Amino acid sequence: MITKMTVTNIHVLDQDSAYDFYVNKLGFTLVDDIPMGPDTRWLTVSPPEQPDLQLVLFPVKVSKMFPKETADALIKLIKQGIFGCGVLTCNDIFATYEELKAKGVEFIKPPTKEFYGTEALFKDDSGNYFSLQPLNNFDAQP
């Protein structure tokens, strides 16, 4: 029986920049930052109130895992903003929106009332996007 999701990936273009974005801008907690060879780190973060979920800030570059053709294609798609990484939940979407905007986070959509609730969309430093929604958004449907 599956019980939990514990580790998942966010493909990023640059680990230093991703560290700054996820830790300093989004306020995620650093879990591991362990060097693994010359240019790679095992870099994981958790949402502040979810310590048992690690997001691996996974660098896309030519490696055993990504042959050049694959890495190039993936980098291109990430930069195009193709990948939605999921929903992040906050207590107050307007305050969170204003705070992230003040920190320079790029929003694709400000807090907007949709038929399914209120949401905003923002991009990370690589081009991945997230939906930002208030807690209990699913209860707020008209």
Partner 1 sequence: MSTTQEYPKVYLYRRIVQAKLFIDAHYADKIDLDNISDEAFFSKFHFIRLFKTVYGKTPHQYLKATRIEKAKQLLREGQSVSDACFGVGFDSLSSFSGLFKRAVGQSASVYAAHHQLNREQKAHTPLAFVPGCYAYQHGWTENSNFEETDP
Q: Tell me if 102 contacts partner 1 by CB under 8 A.
A: yes
Strands across the sheet containing 41-46 = 7-12, 54-59, 41-46, 29-35
Q: Which is nearer to partner 1, 16 or 114 (CB)?
A: 114
Q: What is the dihedral of CA 30, 35, 15, 22, to 10 degrees?
A: 0
Beta bridge partners of 130: 122
Binding mask 58-97 for partner 1 (x = CB under 8 A): -----xxx-------------------------xx-xx--
Q: Tell me if 99 contacts partner 1 by CB under 8 A.
A: yes
Q: What are phi and psi of 97, to 5 degrees?
A: -60, -50
| Residues found near partner 1 in the complex (CB under 8 A) | 7, 32, 34-38, 40, 42, 56, 63-65, 91-92, 94-95, 98-99, 102-103, 110-115, 118
